[in-house]
Chain A
Amino acid sequence: MAVDRGSHLKRLEDESIHIIREVAAEFRNPVMLYSIGKDSAVMLHLAMKAFYPSKPPFPLMHVDTTWKFREMVEFRDRKARELGLDLIVHINEEGVRDGVGPFTHGSAYHTQVMKTDSLKQALTKYGFDAAFGGARRDEEKSRAKERVFSFRTANHGWDPKNQRPELWHLYNCRVAKGESIRVFPLSNWTELDIWQYIMMENIEIVPLYYAAMRPVVERDGTLIMVDDDRMPLADGEEPEQKLVRFRTLGCYPLTGAIESSAATLPDIVAEMLIARTSERQGRVIDQDENASMEKKKREGYF
């Protein structure tokens, strides 16, 4: 089933395809950052549509913090194989050597080293001049002001006060050597749009989004899934089997589950409609400090 012509989802789809094609046509060495989540799933689906019957003329890249849910990694590898796409998996080996992880070093430091630094490392290593990301403007306040084509200096920094004006659908794709542009084809999508599109287009997503019995522990009011034996348990702390699912996916120790019985896509969309807590709530890193996302982005976080 495809979305109807003339519907707002079709307009969003058309706009995203236009953006993705523009990047392929104008940049020397683009890459699609694939985070394995639902937004990445939609972005990848749109890339497949944009170039059909050709394959997308760029590789996928996953910045692996080594703390992703196991199901995510399996899903990632299978998806790339099935679609016949090049997949680059980048791990910050220095971080691995130093044993950086969320339990030993805290969420902020872990994210900085294994995600932000690692991403910069990978972009520099492969010399990518454009990188697609699945961020949406409705996610968070500082993202609402970011361009679709977001310019980054050679140090991967974002200067919110000095963004290029972006008019009509005319995107300025010019960069000097070492500089790059982050491109957000889903800028104008809302979370609800994403779920509806996944349903209408029958897009496969990681099973963690669906409710199932999973072993969790409660920490500071957040339900954390015990995905492997690296998770240290306090004395007397016992993982409990609960019917839970995830609204966003990231590193398992940093991603809160919600109790839910939504086991199908319609259940999830229905649940969203009566949800009263916004999406990033489940991510522990955002609560560290106010306006923390803007700070992270200036430093090169997606």
Chain B
Amino acid sequence: MSQSAAPASTVAVDLSPEAFAEYLESQEKKSFLRFITCGSVDDGKSTLIGRLLFETKLIFEDQLAAVERDSKKHGTTGDDIDLALLVDGLEAERQQGITIDVAYRFFTTDKRKFIVADTPGHEQYTRNMATGASTADLAVLLVDARNGIQVQTKRHAFLVSLLGIRHVVLAINKIDLVNFDQNRYEAIKKDFASFAHGFDFDTMVAVPISARYGDNVVARSERSPWYDGPTLLEHLETIEVQSDLEDRPFRMPVQWVNRPNLDFRGFSGTIATGRVRPGDPVVVAGSGREAKIARIVTMDGDLEEAAASEAVTIVLDREIDVSRGDILVPPSHRPEVADQFAAHIVWMAEQHLYPGRPYLLKIGTRSVTAQVTEIKHRIDVNTFDHLAAKELSLNEVGFCNISLSEEIAFDPYEANRDTGAFILVDRLTNQTVGAGMVWFALRRATNIHWQALDVDKNTRAALKGQKPAVLWFTGLSGSGKSTIANLVEKKLNAQGRHTYILDGDNVRHGLNRDLGFTDADRVENIRRVAETSKLFVDAGMIVLVSFISPFRSERRMARDMVEDGEFLEVFIDTPIEVCRQRDPKGLYKKADAGQLKNFTGVDSPYEAPVEAEIVIDTTVGEPEENAERIVTLLRERGVID
């Protein structure tokens, strides 16, 4: 072992050309395995990966020297080198001694190349585990031999199964600490099988190991003579996970339309499943337009055949309309096409998932607006119980109905990971907030058709001599929304305009009587009012909505429901101290005394508008003047003349 970073050294090259050619060929023929390791904090995941890297000679001398230095500072193994330090990369992790993110590691043996995703074990890192599992074909679940199957082992097995991994290794670690006891090994193995039988794993192998000392990791241990199965590495090197991707129906989501000049029009993408040859018929899923494959183009020349996982450019024999987001499929095996489906969702954000809130959904190369219409149930990841839920919080898993802004093509996740997986993105923060797996299409949508009407919004509005609009008043309780909205309506009425007021308190007595004040109910409250105001706009009315409406997302949703220019956000910007002082209904007093829960501004957040058309500061100017400013705005925007 080197003592310090080695200086520039002379390296002898003495491989014969023949030996070298042979080596290269063997490299080319190597197969490939992506796997994930999971286990709880002290089960020894990082130590195991460090051990694999060390034993397969992937650790360079200078890295080892750095780890020796670090071991003295942060190590948990006394005088031995702490191999986990090779793996725990981020400073924070080294200091806390835990793994907080997914790390990808690479090693290679004579038979195979490996990419391993090392993922954290804590329940609060469920999302990281899902991330690591999404691209893996096998999972190594670590169990501490002293403790046996734990709640987290069950959670990991469940998530691994949910993400579609079909091969599992149960690595029973620290077997040295139970004196290589065969009975202990058998008991844990049996325990695991008893709850995992429902998970549909194709293979499940249990290996007794010591990551710290190397027993049964690479070399067979003499200390467990009763164990006659493969070592962990032997198993990883030989297991056949090669799925039947190429034999499934052809799917190619179009990524990019390749159009260098008028004579060439190709569709670039990665083949998800199946295989194609020139001459094969394909259709665009969704539109059903059909063509034949003319060429499969690559920079290395045209191909006679292309199959799953290959990135190619396909040229069709005739001009049909194809763009990014479309999927090319065979006419005989088409995917589902619908605007609703049921799916499992792993929620990944601090902000909760609320039914009705719009998100951006990306599936394959297609992005559409989506909302969860119903959470059928939440799954307790530790007990697998189905629980009723109105929202999902960070790291929770739910089974949900999802509705999309338009029809898309997809497959069930079980049939196709690429065309059945999606992510949800928050439209304001752009964060990836959820990951989903399509279960099945919902047919309801196809039975409700729009009734075409002869009289439309414009004719209705023209009759009233105005343009329809939504004046959306938002602000804290007691800010003066209703007062000003009332004055504005009076003024409009005096001018002969057709108006209607939707007031928060009034609507809660009728339409929204069943809703409370949790965040989930607040979202639904606004969704219903937004839909109602849309109907009024369609009727040609000027509708004044006076709701606290604390969340940007829902105000955004209401804005998006009507046409550009029809939505005018009025921010009644009154500081909370002033509202509290006014307290017209005595609500702040109650909330401050703890008698009223979830009160906006007190123990529930208010997200101030960033794109309001007009901001009214009620601490300057009389309500009358402020109302006049709003009427002027309507005139400027051409709503009234």
Contact = CB atoms under 8 A, between A and B. Distances in A.
Interface of A: 2-5, 7-11, 13-14, 17-18, 21-22, 24-25, 48-55, 137-138, 141-145, 160-161, 163-170, 172, 174-176, 179, 187-188, 190, 192, 196, 199, 221-223, 256-262, 266-267, 269-271, 273-278, 281-282, 287, 290-291, 294
B interface residue count range (under 10 / 10 to 19 / 20 to 34 / 35 or more): 35 or more
Given A25-B365, A281-B60, 15 more contacts: A4-B28, A8-B30, A11-B309, A17-B311, A25-B324, A52-B313, A141-B89, A145-B101, A160-B101, A163-B101, A168-B418, A188-B106, A277-B61, A281-B62, A291-B91
B624 to A, nearest CB: 39
Given A167-B130, A276-B60, A257 B105 contact: no
Give the residue among A11, A141, A257 with the most B Cβ atoms within 10 A: A141
A262 B104 CA distance: 31
B11 A271 contact: yes
A184 to B, nearest CB: 11
B13 A144 contact: no
Interface in B255-286: 255-256, 258-260, 264, 266, 268-270
Contacts, number: 208
B10 interface: yes
A52 B360 CA distance: 31
Nearest to A196: B27
A143 B102 CA distance: 11
A145 B102 contact: yes
A110 B88 CA distance: 30
Contacts of B7: 221-222
Contacts of A22: 255, 365
A74 B488 CA distance: 71
A137 B11 contact: no
Nearest to A268: B13
Interface string B568-601: 0000000000000000000000000000000000
A169 to B, nearest CB: 7
A226 to B, nearest CB: 15
Contact of B298 (A49, A176, A221, A290): A49
B101 A257 contact: no
A97 to B, nearest CB: 35
Given A53-B260, A160-B101, A270-B20, A190 B30 contact: no
Interface string B227-256: 000000000000000000000000000011
B62 A277 contact: yes
Contacts of B432: 164-167, 172
Interface in B1-45: 5-13, 15, 17, 20, 23-24, 27-32
Give the residue among B94, B115, B360 with the most A Cβ atoms within 10 A: B115
Interface stretch (B195-203, B420-428, B469-477): B420-428
Interface in B79-123: 86-92, 94, 100-106, 108, 113, 115
A258 B311 contact: no
Give the residue among A258, A259, A276 with the most B Cβ atoms within 10 A: A276
Given A53-B297, A271-B13, A14 B311 contact: yes
Contacts of B31: 8
A259 to B, nearest CB: 4
B104 A256 contact: no
Contacts of A294: 89-91
Given A168-B134, A221-B8, A21 B255 contact: yes
B222 interface: no
Given A14-B310, A174-B430, A223 B8 contact: yes
Nearest to A9: B28
A268 to B, nearest CB: 9
A14 B134 contact: no
A4 to B, nearest CB: 6
B87 to A, nearest CB: 8
B5 A260 contact: no
Contacts of B91: 291, 294
B552 interface: no
A24 B256 contact: yes
Contacts of B135: 167-169
B63 interface: yes
Interface in B430-448: 430-432, 435
A11 B100 contact: no
A214 B102 CA distance: 43
A52 B28 contact: no
B467 interface: no
Contact of B11 (A223, A260, A282): A260
A142 B297 CA distance: 38
Contacts of B377: none
B402 interface: no
A202 B10 CA distance: 26
